[in-house]
Structure 1
Amino acid sequence: MRISLNWLRELVDVNIAPEELAQMLTLAGFEVEDIEDRRTWAEGVVVGKVITRQQHPNADKLSLCEVDIGNPSGYLNIVCGAANVRADIYVPVATVGTYLPVIDLKIKPTKLRGVRSEGMICSLAEIGLMKESAGIHIFEGDNLQIGADVRPLLDLDDVILDLSSTANRADALSMVGVAREVSALTGAALKLPQVAEAVIPSEGNLPLKISEPKASPAYIGTAIANVKIAASPDWLQRRIQAAGVRPINNVVDITNYILLEWGQPLHAFDRDRLQSVAGGDNLAIGVRFANSDESFKTLDSQTRNLQSQNLIITANDKAVALAGVMGGEETEVYDGTENLILEAAIFDPVAIRRSARSQGLRTEASTRYERGVNQAELEIACNRAIALITELANGTVVAQEFADFRPDKANWSRSIELRLERVNQVLGAVDLGDDQLGEIQPEDVERILTALGCTLQPTDREQVWMVTVPPYRYRDLEREIDLIEEVARLYGYGKFCDTLPSKTEAGYLSLDQQLVRQLREAFRAAGLTEVMHYSYAVAKSEDDTQVRIANPMFTEYSLLRSELIAGLINSFQYNLEQGNGALNAFEIGRVFWSDEEGLAEADSLAGILGGDPTQGKWIRGGREQAMTWFEAKGVLESVFQRLSVPVEYQPDRRDRRLHPGRTASLWIQGERLGTFGQLHPQLRQEKGLPDAVYAFDLDMDVLLNYLAEEEHLTPPFKVYSTYPAADRDIAFFAPVEVTVAEIERVIKKAGGKLLDGVELFDEYRGENVPDGQRSLALRLIYRVGDRTLTDEDVEPVHQKVRDELVEKFRVNLRS
């Protein structure tokens, strides 16, 4: 909010420098983003009187003026191009040597079309008060002091502080709220406007129909007759202009003035236009939620198709305004308006936020309603507006109705227990100077909170108060810790000690954090990119375990994800559509589900692979070659090998998104780790994916539990043998349903300590292989660390392996 220092000084008796005040407010939590010093805009500009005006001899659109600025040496000759310049008017004159920063111009003696000009008669645009101006500015009145500084006359002796506040401080969106804060910070006296209660005729009648009392707990409708619409007086125009608001007419400017002064949005309707829109002889003002088939045109000339979450103002049940957001074009105040309906209301912050968001609108009014308008000062703001309309627009109040559904005034404030011991416990020691440390004293607490408008009542316990919060701080002072924050803020953050506690210890990563980092490193080392997705998911008709979100950001993502693969598949598809190629990636994230015991969540790890993994495709004429199942499995195996995790693979058909013949479940020592497989052809076709895309989904708890076991945290070192190995190949026909993992398990058990490794190097199916079988060839490596093995050492063990394979799997040996 833009804060005029001149206006602020009318409300609080403070005379400190703008820079000092800005620093004070910033340290108190109200960041001053900019200081606009208007005093520099017209420095050197004085009041002048045009004595004579003649036509320029060499230009039809220029005037040659003699201007008196009180200079003893005589009048100034000034060439002026404005059409409204004439004799006997008082004007702002920029003298020679003056710099006008708004238009970046320094005034110098010059010749215009052969005639000497010794200054410039200024328009309001040239000194920064308007964006554009049709002519020079003419001062009203005929007794101005010639040669006087124009800045006090134009409110250019002012400084504007551009202040931003946190969302919980709704009171800071008003001059009165900022004045209260400045008074508390400086101890200066507060001088709020004295507002007399409006006199309302008893015979007037203005029916109100509030259908949504929760959304509109208070509504004041005031009928004002015989208003004279005109331009606002200069002081009012300049005041709202300083706040960044464009003047329109006296009535509209008054509503904007009250919004800036008290933070209470108001809206003025043209009563005759309301009657025309409503139809009939009587007029009733209502508040309700819109129907989905309603529409009307707002003040920005946009036709708004209303939705059920839009709170609206109605005239005889016809929509005329978006409540708390923007009025309607058909009922706006215009130059011919004679009768008004003035609206002053309290609207529910949530209802206004939803309504404004649904229409893509954000206004000064909605901003204040969304943060919460002060309920206790609604009548004050309304009476203040009525008094100004009566004074500046000659209006006469003819009727007023008040629909009040607010709780008792006693509920507009609350009492909170505050303990001095807790204050010092939370805030710590303060620096008393001269290397002395101390604590905040009771008188400090009482002084600070009293300055904020709180009332403190001692309790029967020592140094414990019951603090009554003022109504204008009701929304953000709710707990004891809020009061402690206020004490710290006004006491001064710079006065608290910044030393570390005496007992500290270095930070460290927990075991789970270390292991998760190892996992990330292992998958990145395998060539996978780590990705992250939102924790939202699209509803699945066949899945009743998904967790629904109460307030979703998007209607299409109204559930929490129960697995990660779906998001990875969508990302793979998106990368292909954007021309980025295949996405080989993994994700570590949280998944959610509901079961008989309630809601549950856990960490999961999933990944996706596909595309051509090779570089240099020129040897194949640039053709892509799909990743095979074994290549994708090899990537996953390299991760497990890096982590020293023994994983077994078993056929699996549980996940319908995966190919039923190319999917395996993963196991660690009898515990299911997860699933790995190729995407189902039907799913690939629907998503437009390449021929072979593979996905895996791992249970993080199973993986971390294995890695966290003592014997796996620090793998034992095995001495490398210095003796050569003895290799033996074995080939046989084996049933297709027998997995290589089962065969390797039997070979390792039969080979005992002599067997150092097993490697499959050939598989063949086709001609000369019996039906239902395949040819497998494995290389067995025998080695010990204390000697070179001989045939007599190896052959008995190798024969045992052969015998076990025949016995267990009925294989037909070929070698």
Structure 2
Amino acid sequence: MKFSWKLLNYFINLKEVNVNYFKEQLTLSGIEIDEITQKDKNNDKCIKLNLTSNRKDIFSILNLAKETSSIFNIPLIIKPIHSYTKYTHKQILNTYHNIFYINRINNIEKHESPSWLVNYLKTCEIRQKHLIYDLQEYIKLKWGYNFYIIDYINLTKELLKINLSIKHSNFISNYINKIDNTKFIKHKSKILIFVAYENDKKQEESYTPTDYFINAYNETLNIISTYTKATVGKLNHHHKKNQESNKQIKLYKHKINTILGPVNQKTLKFLSKKNIQHILNSLNLYTKYDKNIKLFYVNIPKYRKHDIQRNIDLIEEIGRIYGFKHFIDKIPISKRKGNISYKELYIKSIRKILRHLGMHEVVNCSLVNNINTNTIQIYNPINKEQIKLRDNITKTLINNYYYNIKHKNFRTEIFEIGKVFKQNINNKNIERKHLGCLISNNNFTRKEWFTTPDKINWSNAKGFLENFLEQLNANVKLTKILNSNLNKSIEDIKNFFHPTKRLGIYDYSNTKLIGILGELNQNISKEKVYIFEIDINELYKTIISNQHLNHTIKQYSNYPCVTRDISIKINKYKAVGKIFKIIQKLNNELIESIEVFNEYYENQYKTRSVGLRLTYRANNRTLNKSDINSIDLNIKNLLSDLENI
């Protein structure tokens, strides 16, 4: 669209507004101006707009002036235009639409356009033809209304060209039938048709309000009567009352504050109710405000119904007119941290520990092609290879192991944390999270750097799992699996393991089986491959949280100690730990420590001699002669007690 700067100043006084500032403000408000060029011949400027599809309402200089008035807060200066003709007409109210005026025009003699009209059209780069055509373009450009002047002789063809509704065509026919045809021919009469809205889709999209219809009509009559020396006949009009009410949108003030944010000031205040109402009213979006619930009721005029349909559209209009640059454009700093469940943190710690132990994480799909009939089947699977949900991780880890062997990678140390799916007793599908780990390494340990490395064995695998569980602080125990307490999870995977080389992982508190460790069955692989699988949900329940330290702080003694070495002969298969427990039961406060310093075996008698070193010390004094005599007596009694073990 191209508009004249002079013609725009007819509606609004922009003499004190710089052209560059005008261009910048309209562009920031969503009305993009490509350029403003100077027309020296016409002493005018051409405003070239690049309008988007949602601003179809700005199709005339009048509508641009209204938008400019809202942006710059400058009032419109539109004075009423009175007609030079002797015929008067009623004032048109905003409650009417489809307004249709018709006049007879006699003796049009001159068809040359005045220079001022030609200059306006040249500024807007509109091609000129003759007065009637130029005037049509001028009124449409300035006011946004259409009018037509047609010959009586070619009435039918002309009516088809302008595409009027059936009602309007019938109205014209009835009007002509009332007038003597000879008068039309004698006075070379033409028919002036002036409409506010046409009844076709194009005009409905560019809805024009009736506010200034009379001014546009009167200016058209004045120019025709002045420059063509024609006489204008009596006015006949037709209109229809508008029964359709304007759309109303409810807008809460807190929503405006949330989306636009505070105004860029030191106080960081939000837009006031008064400012919001002023902006909306300047856009002809008349509002009512309920102060109890802080709610705006906004009436949307029909010419803005195509682009203002939701709350966010109204908020955009408020920000556009007030100026988005006046709002703080920084994202507010939030001190609230995201919430991660303890279980997720626990799973992260599992990953961290296993990576530090040299394991590599793998991720496998939960959809498998399992022959087992107990697994959950998927309805309408994508392909035949993914028709069921897996019920264990062990099987997918074995597939990873085979894949590595196939590609000559003989060192496989992998783990996976993934979902498994089962059915309970009530045939309800249950999703669980399991941890699976597979280790196969022919160079797992080496005693010396020059010796041949050893394969991983049962003790290494068990020690690896114990080390992992210890770092997790899990209260579990590894023991032989009893068939009486086998659950469905372990029963499904027990066939993957060696019949004798497998252990159950039990919750120490309730002896519930939560996992399994074992060597891979020789029927599956001849190599030494060790796997364990644990239910993470059950493992999480065994964690002992160290909410406080279980240590006793004691002060170091500044006094010397007394040591006694004793030799005890016990059965070859008896544990030294039992001796420690007997000594600790004496409750002698002077005993500071007990150490094993030597051990001798007598294979002939199946006995062994254990050398113990007992350290005595007092915290508040030096041990005297009576203390030492008491210690020696205690040792004699102790030796007699230990002989019975």
- TM range, normalised to the smaller chain? 0.3 to 0.5
TM-score (norm 1): 0.39
TM-score (norm 2): 0.48
Higher-Rg member (1/2): 2
